Each structure stands twice: as structure tokens, then as C-alpha cells.
Structure 1
Amino acid sequence: MKTKTLALVTAGTLLFGAAVPAAASAQGGAKLPGWEAHQKLAGNDKSRQMLEKFYEQWKKSHKQNAKKTDAARVAEAKAALAIDFGGKDTAASVTVSFDKLPKTGKNGTKIAWQSGNPSVLTNEGKLLSRPAAGSGDLKVVLIAVLTHGTAQDYKVFEVTVKADISDAQKVALDKAALKPVFAKGDSASSVTKPIGLPTKGANGSTIVWYSSSPALISNDGKTVNRPAYGASGTVLLNAVITNGRASDTLSFTVTVLPVMTEAQKVAADKAALAVGFTGTDNASSVTRELKLPSQGENGSRILWLSSNTSVIPNGGKTVIRPAAGTGDQAVTLTAILWNEQASETKTFTVVVKQKTN
């Protein structure tokens, strides 16, 4: 019986969807279509009660919709109507075309728009021009005419189109916002991949780039050739920003990382390799575990060997201090670095302090 009840609930839910009121309206709204058939489906009192409840809800909703006049529908649409401004614009500051001037409002109300100054702001909300720089802002009235059936009303919006800024101001704003776009993992001091160099500013400025070393970075930034190990990878990227008769320049210094052979990578990792200590420990006074890297910055793998594994096991994860009275112990740690066919070794001597009691 539980399954049958659930089926009635589902059927009731479907009956009160958007399609039902329309069908009922065609019959004058007297009865829910198929009401008698659904009554017969109810197998017990509980099912019938549930169906009755759904029916009462439908009748209430249908009655309210039937009473809503065209004028009421227009009034609701008018209250809900708003302009969808473009970008970060507001009614007090319009600088770009609107994202949208709706043609249909709430309750299916039709909307027609009329601009008070279509040479500046069209009936469709497209901004054709802004007042010249220094001439002051311009207020524009937009009238929305809302219609539903025989009812009609209008809503007035007043917006302020901001005066344009000078070419020099546009250049200054675009210059302040300008920066190269580096690939993931890259930065100005570590370039390995193509760089994004914007060619247009947000205020319409044109941006042209010139590389001080096109052999390393092309003028458009799309080609990056890494230098040989030891060669300079410093490049000056110069941007010329132009808007109308105004122009300015901006430069960025970037460094293209060199390409290294496997042997050079191992050598670089060997030069940078150091033993890390815990707390206040140092090479002449070790009491706790050591921090021994297992990989270098250039990808070399590192294996650590101890000259006295009873004090510092290979890998340096633990330190076993000599017993009190037996004296401190010097231990030599040998790091073996390798990358493909290249390898190097580096040694460090540390002193492990005896226990104090």
C-alpha cells in the first residue's frame, strides 16, 4: 500500500505543475482535469485525503491566478524591472554598454525601451559615445513601456553617462595595470616558457612590445629560447603604450633560466647542498636528527652514507648519542648525487655529543 500512496503523491505533484492550471482555465476552472479518475485510484482513506489536499492547494492557486488582472501583472513587472549594467557600472556611472535591457518581464509582460538620447545610448542599451573629456557628464533618460493584455504602464530610468577621460589618462591607467603574464611555475626571475604580453589595455590603449634580446625572448613573448649554462639570460621587455596622441613606455627585466646538462645539474645541486640541523644544533654539536635532502633543486637524487652507522645510520633520520663518559663522536657523512649518467660526491663532518648522564 505504501507504494500506491507514493504513486498518488507523485501523480498529484505532476497534476499541479504549470500545465494543469492552463488546462483547467480552458474548462472554466471548475474542476481539476481527470479529478474523478484520480479519485478512483485512491485505494484507502489516507490516499484520498492526500489527493484532496493537493486538490485544495491547486484550487487556491488557480483562483488567485484567475483573479490577477492584466494591470496587476504589469504592476508586478514594473516593480521588478531593473537594468543589467555592463562591467562595474551603475546608474550614476555608465561607461560601457548595458549587458541587457530585458524585452520580457515578470508574468510574461512585454517591454519596449525608448532612449531620450539614442545618439549616445541606443534603445537597446548600446553606448555609442561618451561626452568628450572635460565636457562634463551627461544624463540620459530611458523609458520602459510595459504591456500585458489590455494593461500598459511605463517606468523611467535616469542614468549618467560619464565623460570620457583624456588620452594621457587612458595611457596612465593602462600603464599602471600592465604586467607580463608568466606560465605556471615561472616568474620574472625564472622564465622557462612563453610569456603573455598584453597588446590592448582596458582603456583602449595599444601596447607594442620590444625585446632587448629577441634570440632569447621574441618581441611577442611567444618564443623563449633558454641560453646555455653559464650564459646570461637577462632580457629587458619594453612596452610602448599608445592612445590617440598620448604615449608612454614601461620596462620589465626578466631572467631566462639556462639549459643545463645532467653533469651541470649535478654540479649545481652539489654546490647548493648543505646539512640541515634541528633546533640550536650545528656541525660541531649534534644532539638530534639531521635534515639531509634526498633531491636537489635541479632534480639530482641524493643518497647519504655514514662513516659510523652506530651513531648516525645511513640517511640521518636518527642520531644515537654516545653514552656519558665515552666522549663525543665525529662522523663523516658522504652525499652521493646523481642525475642520469652524471654523479658527484660531497662530504660533511659532524660531531655527535655524548649524553650528559
Structure 2
Amino acid sequence: MARTRTPTIVDIAAYAGVSKSAVSRALSGQGEVHPETRRKIVEAADRLGYVANVMARNLVSSRTKTLGVVLRDVRKPYYAFLQAAMQSQAEERGYRIVATTNAGQLEVEEALHEIKNLISLQVDGIIVAPARLPTSKFKKFLDRVPLVVAGRQEITPGISSVACDDSDGGRALVRHLLDLGHRQIAVVLVDPQYSQRYYTRGAAMIDEIRANGADPIVLTAGTDLATAEVVSQHLRNLDATAIMCPTDPAAMDLLEVLRVEGSSALTRYSVTGYDGYGPLASPFLGLTTFRIPQEEIGRTAVDLLVDRLEGRSENDRFVSLRGSVVPGRTARPIMPA
């Protein structure tokens, strides 16, 4: 079947009975157009199914009003909520988002490929959110497009960033457990090559436990997804009253392992997660966790980029955000003997 010819502003002008220049002014928002004339033009464009040729318009303005976003893995709730917040804030600032990822975790070379693709689409700027992508790999693109990193602090000149203070979060969760009377605390420490954010929060937990005169039990895991398996291997001899997990999904996986072990295992160990958003943060579930302000991270990343694009900020900025402990049923006080 042959494709129907794409309607143009000439077609709209003929349909509405107005001049081509009036259509151009009405659809571009530039110049004066009588309200009744504008109504006719908008109605004609709608009836004809007209879609503006943004690429052609960009050749004149040299701006696309489009922001590129590179996400590590939208299957993880963190990135899905981050993208939604970015989308909302971009719309408020008069921009649109083109987000790119893949079907699984975005590895370094894949992330670099996606950055190149976004540059080829002539986006005005790019927000980078893959946690495993080293700055040294993408800073070469700074002479092509402004860059902002969401989720970790950057010190490279020319790059602004926004992140939650994971060290603060890890320490705050430990203090919560200490207040509940726990002194024998196990921490699942994730490989920093997998996620620097997860490693940072775990390392801070370990440091805070030691700073309070206790000896942490450190269980190393390649990824947060391996938490339940790693803890299971040590469960028979785990001399702990609390187990701190790197993420909320990891905590839920561990709670399922404890459930299978029996009610005594569920009551023997307190469990904490980390992230605190989405369905797993429901009060009904009662997961004890640390809430990351991921929506604020997303909005701030967009603001940092748009402010740079619009000349409101000339200097690099790092915005550090604080989260909060969410007490729940999964971390219980130690009862006196």
C-alpha cells in the first residue's frame, strides 16, 4: 500500500483559507496571529494530521529542545523512577527527553555507543546515568555536547552532577540498628566494579559499625542480585542479629530465603534494604530501608543541564542530596535476655 502524502503548511493554509505565512507564524509561535485565525489553523492541522518537521526547524534555530538520557537498566526501579522524574521536569522546562538503554544492563561500550547515537540525533545535552561508565570514557564528548551525570559525584571539569550521599545513608541505617540494640551486624558488600554506589553505602555501614565499637560481619557479593545466595551460604553459622542489604530487592530476596528456612529464621534476623521507593517502599510490606530522593535527583539533573544550555550557569556544580531512614517491621529491637 502506498503511503499517504505527508501534509504540509501549504495544505493547512488551503484548508483553513489563510496565508502560508499565517500558518507558519501560528505553528511556530512566532509573530502575531488573530485568535480566530489561529483557531482555524490549529483545527486544520489537527484534521490533516500535520506533524511539524522538527529537524528542518532545527536547521534554522540550531537547537532541538531535546535532552538525551542514557540509563543503565530500566528493569531496575531506580532507573525507571529516575527517567519518569526527568521526563516530567524536562516538560516543565520546555524540553523533551530521548532516553536510551537496552534490554539488560548497559555495559561500558554499549553506553558509549548510545551516547554517540544521541549526539547524532543532535540533542542539546546529555544526562548520563549508567553507574558503571567511567568518566574517562565519555569526557571526550564534552566538546560536542554538554554533559550531566546523575547518581554519582563528578570532579571532571566541565561536567555537573547530582547524587544522594550514600555514605550518609549507610551510616544512618547503622545508627538506626544500633538504637534498636543490635551489635552483631552483617553487611553485604557489593563489588565496586559492579556498582560504586552500592559499594559506597556498604563500606559506610562497615565503617559506622566499627566506629561504634562493634565488629561487622562482612559478606562479599559480586552484585546485589547475589545477596540471598551469599547469605544462604553463611546462614547456618551466621552469628548476627541483623543483616544489611545493598538494595531493597536484595532485602526482599533475603527475606524469602529466611521464610523458606522457617519462622525462627525470620524472627532471628532483622533485615534492612536501601533505596526506599516504588512498591517495595509500601508501609504494608514494612521494609526497613533508606529512602533515596530519586525524583529530586532526576529533576535536579535536568535543571543542571537546562541551566547550562540557557546560560543561567557557567560553572560546574555538584548537588549532594540527603535521604532518610524508613523504619519498618523487618528491623526489630533486641529484647533483653
TM-score (norm 1): 0.23
Higher strand proportion, which one?
A: 1
Greater relative CO (CA pairs within 8 A, separation 6+): 2
Name the larger-Rg structure.
1
Higher helix proportion, which one?
A: 2
TM-score (norm 2): 0.24
